[in-house]
Amino acid sequence: MSSTFLYGANVRANGIRQHYLRFGGKGRPLVLVPGITSPAVTWAFVAERLGRQFDTYVLDVRGRGLSETAPGMDYSLEACAADVGAFAQALGLADYFLVGHSMGARIGAIVAAHHAQGLARLVMVDPPVSGPGRRPYPARIDWYVDSIRLMREGADWEKLKPFSPTWTEAQLRLRAEWLHTCDEDAVVCAYHAFGTHDMHADLPAIAVPALLMVAGKGGVIEAADVDEIRSLMPGLEVRTVPTAGHMIPWDDEEGFFQGFGTFLGTPV
């Protein structure tokens, strides 16, 4: 099957240069927001498939990939959410779907609660449920910082094996190629925001239909967390990918796509 990739481009929105990759070009617009150390290109394999049915835009979150990075930049989750809202408006995306993974899911929840113009549906893929007074996010900050520093120094892809021992060589090579573009300050800020920003306070303000996708082996979201989130979002749909860890499409790509069901109007 031929590639659905169209092009990469930049747009100025919310006062910064935002870089994105576009796939498909037909159907409902879909904005894909990756996680804390995942530049847009590392989600291209997901966007390739989404691009078969949706006009898919994969965003480089500020401080990552080819989007703007600068000393002293505001890397808060709130700033990143404002970026996404402004990005959609700048490109004239109407009735768009937003799919966010991990940090991207946390950003997506803020978008849906506070920057929802044009947003039709939200998919939160295994968001960290940590926050004030809650158990911490299970991943350690040095896992991110140490791997970024290794790649910034030009280390070989094999140095990433201890960080992601189940990943294939191709997956590790791609991560090794792009990890150096993740600004350390941006990553540290986002990581700490997982514990200081109260996601649960945003959830009742989300009016669009929403889907929560849970990694069965991720250790990020537990059954009690699902119950609490459902109590705050009574119409929430929940699907679990039982065989996958937190990086769901890397662990079980087909299970990830099946996890959408028909929430986006058609199976993906």
Q: How confident is the model at residue 32 (pLDDT cuts 50, 70, 90)?
A: very high
How high is the mean pLDDT of the chain? 97
Residue among 101, 115, 200, 246 flagged as catalytic:
246
CB neighbourhood size of 74 (10 A): 16
Clarify whether 222 is annotated catalytic.
Answer: yes
User: Which pLDDT tens digit goes with each residue over 185-221?
Assistant: 999 999 999 999 999 999 999 999 999 999 999 999 9
Two structure tokens written together for 72? 């002293």
User: Which pLDDT tens digit goes with each residue over 113-147?
Assistant: 999 999 999 999 999 999 999 999 999 999 999 99
Residue among 102, 115, 197, 200 flagged as catalytic:
102
Token look-up 């092009």 returns 7
The pLDDT of residue 87 is 98
The pLDDT of residue 71 is 95
Helix (H) or strand (E) holding 234: none
User: Which pLDDT tens digit goes with each residue over 217-228?
Assistant: 999 999 999 999
Q: How confident is the model at residue 1 (pLDDT cuts 50, 70, 90)?
A: confident
Calculate mean pLDDT across residues 232-237. Answer: 97
Task: Indicate the CATH number for domain 5-132+197-258.
Answer: 3.40.50.1820
Calculate mean pLDDT across residues 145-165. Answer: 97
Angle (deg, nearest 10), helices 103-114 and 77-90:
70
Clarify whether 184 is annotated catalytic.
Answer: no
Clarify whether 228 is annotated catalytic.
Answer: no
CB–CB of 259/213 below 8 Å? Answer: yes
The pLDDT of residue 35 is 98
Q: What φ, ψ does residue 83 adopt, rounded to 5°?
A: -60, -45
The pLDDT of residue 101 is 98
Three-state SS for 96?
strand
Calculate mean pLDDT across residues 38-44. Answer: 98
Taking the complete model, does pTM exceed 0.85, yes or no? yes
Residue among 158, 169, 222, 254 flagged as catalytic:
222
Calculate mean pLDDT across residues 91-111. Answer: 98
